[in-house]
Amino acid sequence: MTISLNQAGKRFNYDWIFRRISFTFQEGGRYAILGPNGSGKSTLLQVISGHLHHNEGTVNYSIAEKPIEPDAFFRYCAIAAPYLELVEEFTLAESIQFHLQFKSFLPGFTAREIAGIAGLEHAMHKQIRYFSSGMKQRIKLALSIFSDVPVLLLDEPCTNLDAAGVQLYQQLIEAHCGNRLLIVSSNDEQEYYMCPERINIVDYK
């Protein structure tokens, strides 16, 4: 999967968040979107994911040089972000089954195994509303990283995680990211240290 931005820009009302970004995210690459709080990192990631529409330029997706329609890109990516909420009334088991209606897991992994890897096997029948913020973030990361898709989009992936949670995140990326395209939006190096390619959003103001 390749994602190409050509002179892409996004504004809210009359305020431009970023302008004239031309960049290609290559298959198998690991990229970090950097910048201070409020600079537009998350906005750019949402434009890439299709959650937000850009106001100028183009965003194109392709696999093996075959174009993918923007409306179909959601089938090829998984995203974990603080602003994407879990269904509070679901149990963990129900949340996983709901996720599986849209994305399958990487081959060889079951729902219970993934909950165990995330350290949440004891909470399979507990409602999400009773999870701590760290537990919620663990399941968001597990659901995205174990989704069988070619693109992973992670926005501030260590939000609400303690030291053990951060270590788990880094282990999951190293063990299961494989040759997928990874884009991390962050200003915390422990979240993006594995990304040799870096974009500073303030260069596009």
pLDDT for 141-189, tens place per residue? 999 999 999 999 999 999 999 999 999 999 999 999 999 999 999 999 9
Is the dihedral angle over the CA atoms 133, 118, 36, 27 positive or is it negative?
negative
pLDDT (average), residues 100-105: 96
Q: What is the pTM of this model?
A: 0.96
Would you place residue 28 in the very low, low, confident or very high pLDDT band (cuts 50, 70, 90)? very high
Query: Coil, helix or strand for 63?
Result: strand
Angle (nearest 5°) at CA 113 between 101 and 46: 50
CATH topology of domain 2-204: Rossmann fold (3.40.50)
Chain centroid to CA 108: how far?
Answer: 22
Say what the pLDDT of residue 53 is.
Answer: 95
b/e map 68-81, b = 16+ CB within 10 Å: beeeebeebbbbbb
Distance CA 192, CA 33 (A): 9
Task: Give the residue extent of every domain in the chain.
Answer: 2-204
